[in-house]
Structure 1
Amino acid sequence: MAKAAATPATTDPAMRADARRNRERVLTAARTVFSEHGTDASLRDVARRAGVGIGTLYRHFPTREALLEALVGHGFDRLNSTARELLTAASPADALVSWLRDFAAGTTTYHGLPASVMAAVHDEGSRLHASCAAMRAAGARLLARAQEAGSVRPDVTVEELLTLAAAIAWASEQSRGRTDLTDRLLSLTVQGIQG
């Protein structure tokens, strides 16, 4: 998941120009602060870096999850789109592995993001939940196709698969410098779930 910029869908066209600028400043600052300090970084630091008051930050993003959703939600949308394209791939197993690789890579955009994503999958009150639920459903379709082809064990659930991919992303986060670790762990996981 690449880092998101505000899109017309996420910015109210009726918003005043100064409010739009403040929103963009907060998003830009959040990208920087989260890149430097992870998703648990102080929102006061984000506001300070944006040159706005904390109240302005909270007017645009009432929760940390709302801010994260604005930053990474489009990446989940991209994963959904990729999953739809991969549903017609010749090899259902390769399609699933490709999608899992994208998922794992995307959840390492910011330190701490794998944990935030997994929490949002389970928390229906989170602003990230809807994006995560749609992404989860996309992965479930790819998994079902691979299982129907006999490439993946029938007892594997999408929940287990996403948990494994998020754990791999977390492990990759912890071992800075091991660029091959994500691929190696995903390969081991795929070997373990093959039908």
Structure 2
Amino acid sequence: MRADGRRNREQILAAARHLVGCDGAQASLEAIARRACVGSATLHRHFPSRRALLDAVFHDGVVRLCERAEALDGDPGADLEAWLEELAAYSATTKGVTDALLAGPDGHIDERDTCHGLIGDAAARLVDRAKDAGVLRDGVATDDVLALACSLSTVTADPDAARRLVRLAFGGVRAPHRE
């Protein structure tokens, strides 16, 4: 990419981070282009869809979440619950990340949506460990726990409240204690 193209991309991302932080995932693409001092065509050349732009805006935070998931190696149930709390807290404080992580209304995820793929892979590893340890109820899928954490994060912008809600809801997916 030429220097002017890299500069335009960085200006668009900076503008998007600011406006998505203020207005959430539905921030106006036209306003983002204006703030970045680029035309609408330039914005769309770099980011062909709103989801592609959201994916780029949230990518660094998602990578940190995934690195955290990789580092967890204690009790599988506690690790999964702690990581889901972190995901919910991050989602609650970054307006719109949930839109970048969950499937659209048609159930389709674009293969270029790296945030969705990264989070899905990290969650799948933790869910598989928890299943192998007998911590999760039968039939609980990775998509279920992701939807749980992301959904709970949409009802609050307070990361502590999001963590508390995940702790409360996690009891519903935990396997019953066996004596």
- The interval holding the TM-score normalised by the smaller chain is 0.7 to 0.9
Matched, 1:64 2:50: yes
Counterpart contact for 1:120–1:126, Cα < 8 Å: no
Q: CA deviation at 1:40?
A: 0.9
The one of 116, 132, 157 aligned to 1:132: 116
Matched with 1:100 is: 84
Amino acid at match of 1:191: G
The alpha carbon displacement at 1:25 in A equals 0.9
Distance in 2 between residues matched to 1:24 and 1:156, nearest whole Å: 40
The aligned amino acid for 1:40 is Q
Residue 188 of structure 1 corresponds to 168
RMSD value, Cα:
2.1
The number of aligned residues is 174
CA distance in 2, matches of 1:68, 1:179: 20
> Is 2:35 the partner of 1:55?
no
1:34 maps to what in 2?
20
Tell whether the 8 Å contact from 2:70 to 2:122 is kept in structure 1 after alignment: yes
CA distance in 1, matches of 2:162, 2:93: 14
Per the TM alignment, residue 134 of structure 1 is displaced from its structure 2 partner at its CA by: 3.4
Q: What is the SS of the residue equivalent to 1:119?
A: coil
- CA 1:38–1:53 in structure 2 vs 1: closer, same or farther (change >3 Å)? same
SS at match of 1:192: coil
SS at match of 2:103: helix
How far apart are the structure 2 equivalents of 1:119 and 1:90? Answer: 30
Counterpart contact for 1:115–1:166, Cα < 8 Å: no
1:84: Cα distance to partner?
Answer: 2.0
How far has the Cα of 1:120 moved from its partner? 5.3
Q: Distance in 2 between matches of 1:194 and 1:33?
A: 38
Residue by residue over 1:45-98, the C-alpha shift from the partner in whole angstroms, topping out at 9 and shown as x without a partner, is 001111111121112112111111111123333333222221xx2211111012
Q: How does 1:1-195 map to 2 (within 5 A)?
A: 15-86=1-72, 89-119=73-103, 122-125=107-110, 127-128=112-113, 130-173=114-157, 178=158, 180-195=160-175
Alignment TM-score, normalising by the size of structure 2: 0.85
Letter in 1 for 2:168: L
How far the C-alpha of 1:116 sits from its partner, in A, is: 3.9
CA contact (8 A) 2:66 2:118 kept: yes
Structure 1 residue 36: Cα displacement: 1.1
Identity %: 39
